[in-house]
């Protein structure tokens, strides 16, 4: 709750390396490699023995990660720096991302051949050595990463939210996603910025919208009024005859652009007319007199349309 903002941690590619299905084996090696929708290619044998006895390391690029941060209304306008703790998979230092440890000499199970002979009834057939995964080398699964070549780790990152960042903007941090295995490249990290709201200013892109009340006299006669902007107060000229709901534009009083150097959005002020609350006789007299002097019917246009 609160603090640095809520975080949604998304793994775009599930860590599913257990998708082997014996039917695929029966159909042939071509189909097996794509089973399970896990990560990239892998051969059929690592599918059979993966994660059990045989080293299953294979080069696979790391997954992209997506992370959501909440920035306040002002933080996004002025820019800020956030410290984020991001769980990711990092290269296993115990096996240097290989997923296995190798001793000199041949595999003691298959004596370096990479295959062993199995019997099933009267039949004999060769299968890939479950101990070495077919390499013929004396390899054992890394006990730290269990063959994945990567371990869970929380990265502490400082991320700069540029001034003028918009809601939903993505910041790409190349190579900060999950590590790849066996030297394959790491994925990217995407930070998605959610920008908070303000009670008065409504932001749309680089423009700021707000509603400002004005008196009937100001609107009828024209006036210069003070209105709030994101930089403080500014003078707005209300032209004579301004209607309620009319929108007036203050050029370049919006948000400085995060993309285009020197560019700024506008502030769009909607005028809301507030009639005077009259209680004294003198004011009422003046308004009656005013009505007599201006007998036009404000509903004339309306009646023409129905």
Out of 92, 208, 227, 271, point to the residue binding Zn ion (CB under 5 A): 92
Question: Of 45 and 73, which CB lies nearer to Zn ion in the complex structure?
Answer: 45
* Three-state helix/strand/coil letters over 145-187: CCCCCEEEEEEEEEEEECCCCCCCCEEEECCCCCCCCCCCCCC
Out of 131, 139, 203, 253, point to the residue binding Zn ion (CB under 5 A): 131
Question: Of 109 and 266, which CB lies nearer to Zn ion in the complex structure?
Answer: 109
Question: Of 110 and 186, which CB lies nearer to Zn ion in the complex structure?
Answer: 110
Out of 13, 57, 77, 107, point to the residue binding Zn ion (CB under 5 A): 107
CB of residue 57 to Zn ion, shortest distance in Å: 9
Residues 228-257 that bind Zn ion (CB under 5 A): none
Q: Which two tokens stand for residue 264?
A: 């700024």
CB of residue 55 to Zn ion, shortest distance in Å: 10
Question: Of 109 and 167, which CB lies nearer to Zn ion in the complex structure?
Answer: 109
Which of these ranges, 61-69, 99-107, 166-174, 245-253, lies near Zn ion under the rule CB under 5 A? 99-107
132 touches Zn ion (CB under 5 A): yes
176 touches Zn ion (CB under 5 A): no
Residue among 45, 87, 93 nearest 63 (CA)? 87
Within the chain, where are the H helices?
A: 22-27, 29-32, 44-49, 73-78, 216-221, 281-293, 300-305
| CB 188 within 8 Å of CB 105 | no
CB of residue 119 to Zn ion, shortest distance in Å: 18
CB of residue 256 to Zn ion, shortest distance in Å: 48
Cα–Cα distance, 150 to 91 (Å, whole number): 4
Cα–Cα distance, 33 to 15 (Å, whole number): 16
129 touches Zn ion (CB under 5 A): yes
CB of residue 173 to Zn ion, shortest distance in Å: 25
DSSP reduced 3-state for 104: strand
CB of residue 132 to Zn ion, shortest distance in Å: 3
Cα–Cα distance, 9 to 155 (Å, whole number): 13
Polymer length of the chain: 306
Give the count of alpha carbons within 13 A of 224, CB side only. Answer: 3
Out of 66, 109, 155, 207, point to the residue binding Zn ion (CB under 5 A): 109
Residue with tokens 């005013």: 290
User: Residue 252: phi, psi to the nearest 5?
Assistant: 55, 35
Residues 31-90 that bind Zn ion (CB under 5 A): none
CB of residue 117 to Zn ion, shortest distance in Å: 12
Out of 32, 86, 142, 208, point to the residue binding Zn ion (CB under 5 A): 142
- Residues in contact with Zn ion by the rule CB under 5 A: 92, 94-95, 107, 109-110, 129, 131-132, 142, 144-145
């Amino acid at each position: 709750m609160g603090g640095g903002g809520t975080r949604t941690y998304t793994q775009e590619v599930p860590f599913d390396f257990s998708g082997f299905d014996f039917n695929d084996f029966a159909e042939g090696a071509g189909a097996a490699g794509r089973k399970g929708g896990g990560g990239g290619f892998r051969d059929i044998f690592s599918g059979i023995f993966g994660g059990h006895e045989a080293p299953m390391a294979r080069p696979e690029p790391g997954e992209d990660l997506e992370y959501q941060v909440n920035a306040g209304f002002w933080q996004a306008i002025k820019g800020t720096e956030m410290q984020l703790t991001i769980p990711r998979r990092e290269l296993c230092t115990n096996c240097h991302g290989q997923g296995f440890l190798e001793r000199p000499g041949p595999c003691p199970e298959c004596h370096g051949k990479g295959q062993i002979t199995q019997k099933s009834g009267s039949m004999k057939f060769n299968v890939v050595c479950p101990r070495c995964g077919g390499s013929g080398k004396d390899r054992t699964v890394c006990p730290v990463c269990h063959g994945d070549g990567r371990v869970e780790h929380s990265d502490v990152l400082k991320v700069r939210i540029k001034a003028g960042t918009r809601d939903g903007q993505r910041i790409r941090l190349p190579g900060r996603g999950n590590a790849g295995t066996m030297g394959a490249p790491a994925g990217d990290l995407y930070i998605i910025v959610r920008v908070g709201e303000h009670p008065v200013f409504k932001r749309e892109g680089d423009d700021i919208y707000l509603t400002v009340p004005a008196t009937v006299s100001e609107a009828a006669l024209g006036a210069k009024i003070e209105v709030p902007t994101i930089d403080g107060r500014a003078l707005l000229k209300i032209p004579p005859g301004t209607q309620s709901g009319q929108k007036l534009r203050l050029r370049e009083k919006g948000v400085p652009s995060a993309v285009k150097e020197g560019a700024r959005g506008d502030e769009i002020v909607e005028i809301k007319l507030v009639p005077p609350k009259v209680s004294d006789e003198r004011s009422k007299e003046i308004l009656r007199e005013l009505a007599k002097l201006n007998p036009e019917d404000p509903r004339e246009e309306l009646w023409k349309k129905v």
